[in-house]
Structure formats: C-alpha cells, structure tokens
Amino acid sequence: MVSVTYPRDKVAGVTVVAKTNWVFLVYQLPRVPSTPRISVWRKLKRLGVAQLGDGLVALPYDASTKEQLEWMAHDITEAGGDASIWITTPTVRRFGENLARLLMAERAEEYRVISEEVAESLAFGPGERARVLRRLRAEYRRIERRDHYQPADKDTARNALDRLAASLEPETTP
C-alpha cells in the first residue's frame, strides 16, 4: 500500500502533513511474568508510538515504521503474546489529524524539556554545562528519530542547544 498525504493542514496551530495511512500494532502479553510487558512498553516508548488503548499503538505509515512494529510483533510473540500489524486509513480525515496532533504534542513537550534544561544549565560552571550539553544533544537525537511532524519546539530546542554550546566557546578578544 502506498502512503498518500493530504495537503498541508493546520493542526493545533501548526502546519503538518496529515498522513492518510497508519500502521497499528495490536497486541496482548501475559500479565506474568511482567518483564516482557515492561520491555515491550519501553521499546514502544522509544519508537514514539501513539498509545490508543491497552494493547493498541499507532505510527504514521512508511516502510520504516512498519518494519519497526513488525519487529515489535515478533518480540511479543516470542514472549508468549499475540500481535498483529494493520495498515489502515481513517475513514474520516479528522481521525488521522487527531493522531498527528497527539504525536506532535508529545514530541513538542520533549523538545520543551530540553529547552528548559538548557536554560537552567546556563547558570552552571563550564564543566557541568559541557556534561549537560552532551546529554541533551543525545536526547535531542533520540527525540528526532521518533519525530514525524517537526513541531516548532524542535527549532527552539536546537537553538537552545546552540546557545549552550556557544557559552562553552572561549571568548575572543579583538
């Protein structure tokens, strides 16, 4: 199935491309032992899925997200659970936009946390600022990998990281 996009739409005041196709993972895992359930939950969180219900998650459809959820389905069945992958198109465009809005809001909040931590770290000494910069750059890259809609907060976080990096550069005198 080919992924088609609607024209750019305003969703929650931000322009996004509302994708028509989504890949869903429907799964069940035994409650005991809890270790596989926790492992699956953590992996899904790292992928940045939209949690639609207990055992139902979604990502915008493309070959990469489909493959990622197929691997998750494999892990779930290996742990004694049941899983299936569905590629779907919402019957009402607004439903896809609501999913896009949910994912965008989650990533935006993660980027805002980075900006806030940068602001707090500017009061630290150079050694601590350098450690914070390394940690936050790594976190930024992790968020970026699961960011499908590029909220404005991404640029704000990037600029904040640049300011933090600039605060570590030696001052040049003319």
Distance CA 89, CA 10 (A): 19
Exposure class string for 91-103: b at 16+ Cβ within 10 A, else e: eeeeebbbbbbbb
Domain parsing of the chain, residue ranges = 22-88, 107-168
Is CATH 3.30.70.240 the right assignment for the domain spanning 22-88? yes
Average confidence score pLDDT of the chain: 88
pLDDT in tens, 69-121: 999 999 999 999 999 999 999 988 888 999 999 999 999 999 999 999 999 99
DSSP H helical segments within the chain, as ranges? 35-47, 63-78, 93-121, 126-145, 152-168
21: nearest Cα among 9, 4, 6: 4
